[in-house]
Structures are given as structure tokens and as C-alpha cells.
Amino acid sequence: MAGTAHLRSLGIPAELARACLELDVDEPLEFGALHADLQQDPLIAHGLEALWGELGRADPPARLFSDSILSAIVVRLARLAAARGPAPFPRGGLAPHHSARVIDYLQAHLDERVTLGDLAALTGLSPWHFARAFRQSHGEPPHRHLTRLRVERARERLEHGDDPVGEIALAVGYTPQQLVRHLREATGLTPREYRRQSRR
């Protein structure tokens, strides 16, 4: 480039992005193959233009305005990513022995906090490459697979035992409220409703 160039970069806190999209702490933020064409989106372009004018201010209204614009940009990114579809994955996936090792680890640690880094370390891959390879092998992201395993274990215990719901929730790494939410998403029923129906 000839002459002076000015570069602006925008970093959105992961906590804010997850809160806007109602994601759990461990769920990765994935916006697909969105790159240079973001500037062509009217909402993002106008939002950034308005944001730049407020970043130099230190008053509370400017902070509220900036947070609102950032939230709108995050939601727009998610909408564009969903419309675009998933990014193409490399051929292959996890090696069978790595895949088995990861699934065994998940099954043995359902009651613990499992991070992407923990799982990637089992395979020797970076978290980013591991997440892509896992999805290629299993058809879903690691966190979604872990959620499914936890819900399956909770369903088994609800069907075949009389343990309190709170105890079952702790055994699969959830609070009672989280278990209610995930089970309802999977079955349309609360834990108590699911237990009663399974007994019938």
C-alpha cells in the first residue's frame, strides 16, 4: 500500500458472545467460513461504523450503546454462519484408536468438567484440529456429543433406579436445573415426568 494505512480490530469477549447466543461455558464459538464478506453485510458494516464513534467515549451511555452493538453483531454473525452452513472439513477424522480413547474418557468423566483441551491432549492434536476431526468422525461437535452422553446416562438412571433427581444431575456433571433443561430438549419431558412415563 502506498501512504499511511490505519488498521482497526475488534475483539468481542467470549463471555459476551456466549451470553448473547445462550451457550454454555464449554461450548465453542463457531461462526463457520465467514471472512472478508462480513463488511458487505449492512448490519455489521453500519454497526461497526457506529461503534467506532463511541469507543473513544468513557461515559455510561457509550458503554451501554457499545455493548448493544456488540450483541447485535454477535447474533448477526451466528445468523450468517447458520445460513452459510458448516465450513468444509478435511478428509478423514480421528484415528479409530483415538476416537475410542476419547469416547472412553468422556464416559468415565461425565460428572466432571471436560474441556476441549483435555480431549485434544488425548490425541496429540491442537484443540482446533481436534474439534474438526471429532466432528468429521462423529457428525457433531465434542460438546454436543458429551451432552448427549450425559443425557443418555441420566435417562438410564431415571428408568432403572429411584435416585433423587439432584443426585442424578450431579452424577452427570449438571445442576438439577441444567439436567431439566437438557432432558426437556431431548425428550420434551422433565426428569420426574420422564421417570413416570418410563415406569408406565
Which whole-number Å values give the CA distances from 94 to 28, 86, 119, in the listed order?
19, 18, 12
Three cell numbers at 166? 439432584
Residue 119: how many CB atoms within 10 A of its CB? 25
CB 194 within 8 A of CB 185: no
* Angle in degrees, 0-180, between the axes of helices 14-21 and 60-84, rounded to the nearest 10: 60
Convert the pLDDT of each residue in 39-82 to its tens digit: 577 888 888 888 888 877 878 888 888 888 888 888 888 888 77
CATH 1.10.10.60 for domain 145-199: yes
- Residue 90 pLDDT > 50: no
Report which of residues 160 and 11 the model is more confident about.
160
Q: How far is CA 84 from the centre of its chain?
A: 18
Convert the pLDDT of each residue in 110-166 to its tens digit: 999 999 999 999 999 888 889 889 999 998 999 999 999 999 999 999 998 889 999
Q: If pLDDT is split at 50, 70 and 90, which confidence band does 28 have?
A: low
Alpha helices in 124-164 (DSSP H): 127-138, 142-160
The reported pTM is 0.57
